[in-house]
A and B are shown apart, each in its own frame.
Chain A
């Protein structure tokens, strides 16, 4: 009986999805509203004063960055909450005593969180088309970046959820790290617009590569080479997988 416990993965996945659909109003509405606000403020009000960037109107330029912004924050918050909550209520006992491997636990929780983020990404893109023209030159790569990023940051959220031992810590990493990195990672501007030394420093921000590659799949313009973006995306995915594997190898914060 070493085969995968498919029923278990499906159960956890469904459970996570049904938690989302139960509160689908809040889950979808708040990102949609904040994206719309960004478009109204940055796209329409300020954007009209901005020059085109590499031949792309500022409003359109914003779309991939905003989708990434939402994707990262929602992946982290969804996945961290998904695993933190059973720890908090104690229902984790059932997961720990079930005949399931750690890989299956991760597939269920992270798969669920990543699915929600990807769906949300589509919803935000659809919202964006109401405000600005959007073009997707490389749909395959757009999907690839979308899914890989959603997976990576859902894994990161999962790690945070396991590490957190209080609700404060749960929101600490997103507010302290994810949001600044995203804002400073070129969501709203091309990093070529930055003066030195900021332009070089920015290259240490992992989010730059995600946004740049994602934007390339839309308009064919990028801050860094798309190959590098793709490589970095895979690198971060691998890094998160390694951390998760390490956590489970030691039972860290799950078992005493």
Chain B
């Protein structure tokens, strides 16, 4: 980040701001999203809540109606400072897939999504895959290594999910930093390849 004379900034855009980008970590309930984020985040994963009714009501109206604040939707996220002027955030989607309004916030402008899959509960990822496919969000499928998923299981899962060969499939252990790094690099490279050959 360029340190400019703070005298001149006076609260305007004189400073060179860092750029922030994000990657989404999606998948069904309990599939390891928070574990995955925590494995590479430089901070303990933080939790942000949104109000269920934010989808339909303006915030200003809501703030006058505290009795509407019944349902909150939580998402976990972490941060990785990649350079002085570049920060990557990892946002885990809410475990309950029905809160799609929150997904719009999380995915808007994202580099892409890691869809985490527990092969014992394949159907749990259908919602996430439908969502990212429909919106054209670059994604890969990461089989979380509960119960020792093997590389040779990958093509079976790809068939079961009916996902074409253009989408990367990887096996990961969400608890392992190195493994999570590889998944993220693979996703970024996939997003790059989609730009290079649109």
Q: Do A and B bind each other?
A: no
